[in-house]
Structure 1
């Protein structure tokens, strides 16, 4: 799309602030999100903190490179480590960080998110709003209202909204033979080669894993899956699947809506008509 000089002047009158973008990061595949996240976090930190003053961090905490740590108000933390030596750390308001947690930047934590005791958050990680996390997280993006509460490793991954990883869930992000990974292509319906060595899991909205689930390197999980059972689940799990490698079935749509309603109500959110329409559209695509 192109704009002439009159269009630009008109936009300037409508919007009080205009920003010039020199470079756009192109997200072609879902894994481009975590691949580019570290550089985006560093640039965003400068943008969002310019001219602002960080709130104090009360309690007995250890902060390294304090000038690269920005805290919004009402953050509760005690006996934690914030290490911004390798990248900035931005923590939004209402975040609770339990004792023993370590955050090593660049990292962004969204408002009202809770980090459980002993959480280990490595650089290149974004945890969005209203999440509950724990264990070890490396170079990953977790969207809002998703949970990884317990111990277990999550690396080079993307979790959509309203996901939940059961206790002991682990994600491999590297093959044993250190080879480049293949990953599922929805259009061609095959696994195709990539130039990447590190990919964990890409999980769609509303999907869940049971306790002690072990995901292989470069696993694609669809929307509203319920994954459980022995052994490694398949590296591609279609949306609305129930079970694991030994018994994978399709979840009835009314059960999908029921589960989403219960989970969202626990966070004082309603499963809206729009939410239902979106899932229904995706559900019907499986029949095409």
Structure 2
């Protein structure tokens, strides 16, 4: 079986800025990225049918036994069984939504099958199709991934005598974790702490929550429910209903709620975001499809930040803010609700274009601190985003 996770063009646009640098299945929600959830269940490595400018980094692989799965789908055991039951020439649908199909043919990006035998899936289907779906599904996905990752395994012990654990049966700690004088409350949902993670003194972690491999919860942090810190993140202050994709920092005090922060981002000390309007009306968010504000249908909605972006000290993000890739945001007052990629400045001082060569220099300097650098393929992706 050859697993191909296909993006739908409009959905990929709807999930920007998070998907500007990755296919939909590269998004993290719960503990794992979407493609990792499918790969673990199918015991295969996926390839990606996505935007052309991303295809060098995320190529598609075809064979004579191709299984195409909608990249927006959240994996469940029942859905996996239905997909595995498909024969070549069959397509699985749910109320006209194409979930998966099996074919020896090579389909192009944006192309859906016609003329195949339809198999109707009767059951609940959840997809990541809009930005708020990321945090709205995070609690259930943490619980689902927790079961997937810990089944049949035994947690490492928490030996620190000054750490208090509630709901110990719902806590799983990988090897090499360092926890000191913290409070971990898993009575309301599981808490997963990845390999070599650090939870520093005075921290509070309330489940469902995930602290992934090599990440750190800083002194006195308050990690509220439904929060994910991806690999190699440094996070302090108060965070709730939010996801850090990986390699991103918010090391100091400040509030972040109902948000998604991409890779290689940094939020300066006392950076805060609003996630609820004073008039309690539905939050509007910038759409890359309409190039304007659209209603999310949600009362709580925070900040969505693309990869490599940074916020200066005491930055304030408005309710429902979209920040593109590699932007440097700073200054007094609330920032604009939409900050495009490669922008430099703030609402009070004005935004200007961030010199591309300077932006790449800063990105490489940031990545060098973790022993990494941009590849030529990464540079081409960033050039495309900068020109678009």
Q: Same fold (TM over 0.5)?
A: yes
Distance 2:133 2:202 in 1: 31
Distance 1:274 1:16 in 2: 28
Q: 1:88 aligns with which of 169, 172, 190?
A: 190
Change (3 A) 1:16 1:110: closer
Gap runs ≥5 in structure 2: 4-41, 45-75, 80-123
Distance 1:57 1:273 in 2: 43
**Residues 1:53 and 2:161 are matched in the alignment:** no
For 2:370, the equivalent position in structure 1 comes to 267
Could you tell me how far 1:24 is from its partner in structure 2?
4.7
Distance 1:81 1:90 in 2: 14
For 1:104, the equivalent position in structure 2 comes to 206
Deviations 1:98-150 (Å, cap 9, x if unpaired)? 10001000001111111110011011111000000100000100011000100
Deviations 1:208-227 (Å, cap 9, x if unpaired)? 00000011100111110000
Aligned length: 271
Change (3 A) 1:191 1:93: same
Q: 2:300 aligns with which of 190, 198, 206?
A: 198
Distance 2:340 2:289 in 1: 13
Distance 1:166 1:132 in 2: 12
Deviations 1:240-264 (Å, cap 9, x if unpaired)? 0000113210011111110111000
Asked if the contact 2:135–2:259 (Cα under 8 Å) also holds between the matched residues in 1, the reply is: yes
**Residues 1:150 and 2:252 are matched in the alignment:** yes
For 2:102, the equivalent position in structure 1 comes to none
Query: 4+ residue stretches of structure 1 with deviation over 6 A?
Result: none
Asked if the contact 1:63–1:81 (Cα under 8 Å) also holds between the matched residues in 2, the reply is: yes
Query: Over aligned residues, Cα RMSD in angstroms?
Result: 1.5
**Residues 1:65 and 2:130 are matched in the alignment:** no
Distance 1:16 1:141 in 2: 26
Distance 1:199 1:193 in 2: 11
Greater displacement, 137-146 / 41-50: 41-50
Asked if the contact 2:316–2:332 (Cα under 8 Å) also holds between the matched residues in 1, the reply is: no
Q: TM-score, normalised by structure 2?
A: 0.68
Distance 1:89 1:267 in 2: 26
Change (3 A) 1:190 1:16: closer
**Residues 1:211 and 2:313 are matched in the alignment:** yes
Q: Which structure's relative contact order is higher, taking Cα pairs within 8 Å and 6+ residues apart?
A: 2
Distance 2:204 2:270 in 1: 19
Distance 2:356 2:78 in 1: 43
Gap runs ≥5 in structure 1: 4-14
Distance 1:141 1:39 in 2: 13
The residue correspondences of 1:20-39 to structure 2 (distance < 5 A) are: 20-22=77-79, 24-39=125-140
Could you tell me how far 1:30 is from its partner in structure 2?
2.0
SS at match of 1:143: strand
**Residues 1:115 and 2:234 are matched in the alignment:** no
Asked if the contact 1:58–1:76 (Cα under 8 Å) also holds between the matched residues in 2, the reply is: no
For 2:32, the equivalent position in structure 1 comes to none
The residue correspondences of 1:232-247 to structure 2 (distance < 5 A) are: 232-245=334-347, 246-247=349-350
For 1:161, the equivalent position in structure 2 comes to 263
Distance 2:127 2:166 in 1: 33
SS at match of 2:333: coil
Could you tell me how far 1:20 is from its partner in structure 2?
4.3
SS at match of 1:248: strand
Distance 1:115 1:181 in 2: 29
Could you tell me how far 1:25 is from its partner in structure 2?
2.7
Q: TM-score, normalised by structure 1?
A: 0.91
